[in-house]
Amino acid sequence: MWSVVELHGVRQLAAAAEWISRGKSMPLDLVVHFPRCQEEAISLLVALINRVSHRLRTLEISGHNGSLYRVATDWIEPAPMLQTLSTSYDVYEDEDGQGWCNCDDDPTDEIRTTCIRPPSSLPALRSLCISVYGDEWSTVPELHGCVSSSIQDLTLSFTGWGLADYASVMRLLECTPNLTSLRFKFAYGSSCEHENDTAECDGVVGLKPAHLPHLRSLHVTNSQSRPCFQWLRLLDTPHLRTCNINNSQAWQKELPQITRLGSGYSASGS
């Protein structure tokens, strides 16, 4: 009864704190929508996350990259029970309907780059969802080198106009070797297109595949009119069993290992 709390900014912060306290030591599922980049509001919300960190089972946060960066750097309390972490670029509008703020034009890395707390500090983490926004983004630099063997489900959603940085994506996947389920979501403008299907994609040239020995399920959605699937060559998935990619057969030539899976393999969207 007291285990699910959703906050839109700080207007109901006192009530939410009371609600949370009634849950005592029960596991907590917390959703926090950060308002426009207001320092005081951000500090209050991050402080709340730290106070309840030991109880967190699920944490979903959304806001400008500046807010997400503050959570990544200032949320420092242990979260031994956290199983699901979701972070996404979004803008909660305040009472006057305003959602735009100066940080949208800020060129600094902490604003232009989506950041999260290193998963290696979250020992029970099983599911990680990252929604990246930006026209020159680099995927979660704090994650590089922070191997998390506990993560089994990973979702990467690219919502900006910048092309996906596949080199960063491959480094991220190498840090999660025990994945069993992987989802990619590409918004319009976030992946490359080729007029000629035989053209080589510059974004994948020279990159080494990510070895995902336990991956069983792959799901990809891409809103491009002529989406490029050449990056699929970078996925070494010897035990893949379920593949659903954008209701298209174009992916088949990019995942040659599928042909070796035999009758145990099922595909959707073909």
How many domains are there within the chain?
Answer: 1
Short-list 17, 25, 148, 23, CA closest to 81: 25
What's the whole-number mean pLDDT along residues 15-35? Answer: 90
Q: What is the pLDDT of residues 122-166, one digit of tens each?
A: 999 999 998 876 544 444 555 555 678 899 999 988 876 656 778
Poorest-confidence range of 55-64, 85-94, 120-129, 209-218? 85-94
Domain boundaries, position 177: 4-268
* Residues linked to residue 221 through DSSP beta bridges, in sequence order: 185
111 by Cβ neighbours in 10 Å (0-12 / 13-18 / 19+) ranks as: buried
